[in-house]
């Protein structure tokens, strides 16, 4: 597609349930990021994928969070045993390459709004 | 540690000029970027400064001084549609380090 696509756009779940959030980056973009944004707050880095390299998981807040990227394209963020504090908008972004080294431009999806009851 | 500081909120009048400052402290530096985010929307890229000086894109300009670890976003001829949050971000190693965002409120 032309842009970064995320699904679902909205997800309401009960505490303790697992959720999967999907991101389809722009074709040809090797770098993919997951961020979390709480209402009125900035972007919290979660995880970074670059090509076939091992992902940088340093931003994942707990072992309930995991992510994978299949075939260097689509990525799935999984949250196990969801808690109310996991409620936020989860944003996915992609860039042609390691963004910090070039134009600093990331392309964001519209996000997945997660509400944990 | 790594940090970016920007004002939490700025208020301006339609048609006026507003400047949003950003100071940073990071272990690496490859450039300063600015993003705009409307309520409920995704962040969208506005500008990038890799070198010192002023970059102009229409009504928006961005400035960088690497020696001062400082930059700003300048918005001219403000329009109501410019009401949004503005984030500065520093390229460090292979990712962007983000500020907490500045909410720009525009009054008619």
DSSP character string of chain A? --S-EEE-SEEEE-TT--EEEEEE--TT--EEEEEEE-TT--PEEEEEEETTSPPB-TT--STTEEEEESTTS-EEEEE-S--GGG-EEEEEEEESS-GGGTT---EE---EEEEE-
In Å, what is the CA distance from A86 to each residue of A5, A102, B54? 21, 32, 40
CA closest to B96 among chain A residues: A100
**Nearest CB to A98: which of B94, B98, B100?**
B94
What residues of chain B, 57 to 86, have a C-beta less than 8 Å from chain A?
Answer: none
Phi-psi region of B77 (alpha: psi -120 to 50; beta: other; left: phi over 0): left
Res A108 pLDDT > 90: yes
Res A100 pLDDT > 50: no
CA dihedral B40, A85, B8, A106 (to 10 degrees): -50
- The pLDDT value given to residue B74: 98
- The pLDDT value given to residue A102: 59
Res B46 pLDDT > 80: yes
């Amino acid at each position: 597609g032309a842009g970064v696509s995320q699904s679902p756009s909205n997800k309401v779940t009960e505490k303790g349930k697992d959720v999967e959030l999907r991101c389809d980056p722009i074709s040809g973009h090797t770098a993919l990021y997951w961020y979390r944004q709480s209402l009125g707050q900035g972007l919290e880095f979660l995880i970074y994928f670059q090509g076939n390299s091992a992902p940088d998981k340093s931003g994942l807040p707990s072992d309930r969070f995991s992510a994978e990227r299949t075939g260097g394209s689509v990525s799935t963020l999984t949250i196990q045993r969801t808690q109310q504090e996991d409620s936020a908008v989860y944003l996915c972004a992609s860039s042609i390459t390691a963004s910090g080294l070039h134009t600093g431009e990331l392309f964001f999806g519209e996000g997945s709004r997660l509400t944990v009851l | 540690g790594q940090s970016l500081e920007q004002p939490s909120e700025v208020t301006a009048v339609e048609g006026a000029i507003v400047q949003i400052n950003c100071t940073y402290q990071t272990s690496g530096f490859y450039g300063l970027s600015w993003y705009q985010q409307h309520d409920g929307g995704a962040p969208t890229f506005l500008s990038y400064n890799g070198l010192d000086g002023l970059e102009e894109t229409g009504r928006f300009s961005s400035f960088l001084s690497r020696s001062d670890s400082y930059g700003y976003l300048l918005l001219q001829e403000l329009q109501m549609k410019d009401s949004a949050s503005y984030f500065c971000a520093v390229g460090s190693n292979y990712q962007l380090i983000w500020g907490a965002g500045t909410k720009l409120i525009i009054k008619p």
